[in-house]
Amino acid sequence: MAPGEAVTGEVEVTEIENVTEDQWAEYHKRLTLHAGGFFIAYGWQANGSWAGPGGVDPSDIAADAILKVLDGTRRYDPSSGIKLMTFLRNVVRSLISHLVEAADTQHRRPMPKVRLGGAEDPVDMEPEGDEPDPLENCIKNEILEKLKKVATEEEDTLVAEILECLDADITKPVEIAEYLNVEVKTINNAQKRLWRKAEKALGQPKQEGTS
Amino acid sequence: MKNLERFDDHTWKKFFAFLLPDEKNMTRHEIEAELQHLGIDTRPGLAKVQQGLKKMAAAREARAALEAAKKQRPSLLAKLRDMTSEVSSLTKEDLRRIIGERFSGTAQAAFFRKLDSAASEEDLRSLIDDMSKLDALTEESDDAEP
């Protein structure tokens, strides 16, 4: 795959032997970002860097997920019809869930399933019934309060409109745009702008020479 | 009037999930930029993955070599058995070469001794029979190993 080429992130169903080293490198980055969402939600950082229980960082979690699939500890079966990346994301969630269980935190409920919004996972990866989204379930109160502050300080009324949509379970940018009768680009831009503000407010650690 | 206080924590949590960058919809370049922005260093983790891939490749090569060796064994055994019936066409030098290539240690020494002391065709036939049996036993014990 050429650098910078657009991808959906949804890798085809394939035997792991067919995945190239370059593709594994990309999966690792995707999974690192996926795991990073949980670290942000938990506020897992120490001494200016991301650090979960035992000092692991999102990149460690992503690598561990891939290694478990490579060595067969978590056996990926292409005949199940589940895409490799979907399977790997599930392994990441499982590993984080174990970390949460191991750590003596205020969040004691397991997080078997999660979506970071956006594209749909296969049916068997969806939260069941009224089960809350595990990512939402694990957000630390302190993080949530900081986020509220950022949104409250925002002049744009679009924030309130987006919150109304989310309150009504309209969660995808396309659907929100349609509901609010604005362009999807407007929602996407607001999403990025607000995230940048939120990041600052949440106090993300900064490391030298990354990715 | 925004009145954001009217939203409960459940909605605010959805808002967090909504804002969080979703790698599924991002290009590789965007992901790299986001990771850099978040200050997440992927290099140590990637090194672990690369090491894991090397181990997997080495294990695959070893498996392939084992498979190839297994495929070769029957022909070697068959060759020895054929020799038993055609022992008259084999010279002592032929047998010396086979013993040298196929066996080692005490078994090799014993076969060389037996070869040197062989005085008749019957002695040679007995030697080839012993070689064939030991080869079969070695195969069985190799196959039993994990």
pLDDT for residue A114: 45
Interface of B with A in 37-76 (CB under 8 A): 37-46, 48-50, 52-53, 55-56, 60
pLDDT for residue A132: 46
How would you class A37 by CB atoms within 10 Å of its CB: exposed for 0-12, middle for 13-18, buried for 19 or more?
buried
The C-alpha of B95 sits at a distance from chain A's nearest C-alpha, in angstroms, of: 44
- Whether residue B20 lies inside any domain: the answer is no
- Whether residue B96 lies inside any domain: the answer is yes
pLDDT for residue A98: 85
Name the amino acid, one letter, at B100: G
- Whether residue B25 lies inside any domain: the answer is no
* Model pLDDT for residues B96-132, shown as the tens digit of each residue: 888 888 888 888 899 899 888 888 888 888 888 888 7
Contacts of A163 in chain B (CB under 8 A): 4, 7, 11-12, 15
Place of tokens 């990866």: A125
Nearest to B142 by CA among B74, B43, B96, B42: B74
pLDDT for residue A184: 93
- Whether residue B5 lies inside any domain: the answer is no
pLDDT for residue A174: 93
Domain span at B97: 70-144
Q: How many CB atoms lie within 10 A of CB A204?
A: 19
Nearest CA in chain B to A57: B40
How do the pLDDT tens digits run along chain A, 211 residues long? Answer: 443 344 455 556 678 888 889 999 999 999 999 999 888 888 888 777 888 888 899 999 999 999 999 998 999 998 888 889 999 999 999 998 888 877 655 444 555 444 433 333 433 344 333 444 556 667 788 888 888 988 888 877 899 999 999 999 999 999 999 999 999 999 999 998 998 888 888 776 654 445 5
- Whether residue B124 lies inside any domain: the answer is yes
Nearest CA in chain B to A11: B24
CA angle A133, A72, A44 (to 5 degrees): 40
- Whether residue B113 lies inside any domain: the answer is yes
For residue A133, the 8-state DSSP code is P
pLDDT for residue B146: 46
The structural domain count of chain B equals 1
Are residues B19 and A195, on separate chains, in Cβ contact within 8 Å?
yes
- Whether residue B50 lies inside any domain: the answer is no
Extract the runs of DSSP E, i.e. beta strands, from chain A. Answer: 45-46, 49-50
* Model pLDDT for residues B10-43, shown as the tens digit of each residue: 899 899 989 988 898 889 999 999 999 888 999 9
Are residues B42 and A135, on separate chains, in Cβ contact within 8 Å?
no
pLDDT for residue A14: 75
Q: Tell me the C-alpha distance between A74 and A165, whole Å.
A: 38
- Whether residue B110 lies inside any domain: the answer is yes
The C-alpha of B111 sits at a distance from chain A's nearest C-alpha, in angstroms, of: 43
A48: left (phi over 0), alpha (psi -120 to 50) or beta: left
Q: Number of CB pairs < 8 Å for A and B?
A: 201
pLDDT for residue A175: 94
Which residue among B15, B17, B24 sits closest to A163, beta carbon to beta carbon? B15
* Model pLDDT for residues B58-87, shown as the tens digit of each residue: 888 888 888 887 777 666 666 666 666 665
Which CB contacts under 8 angstroms, 24+ apart, belong to A16-19? A16/A69, A16/A70, A16/A76, A16/A84, A17/B60, A19/A84
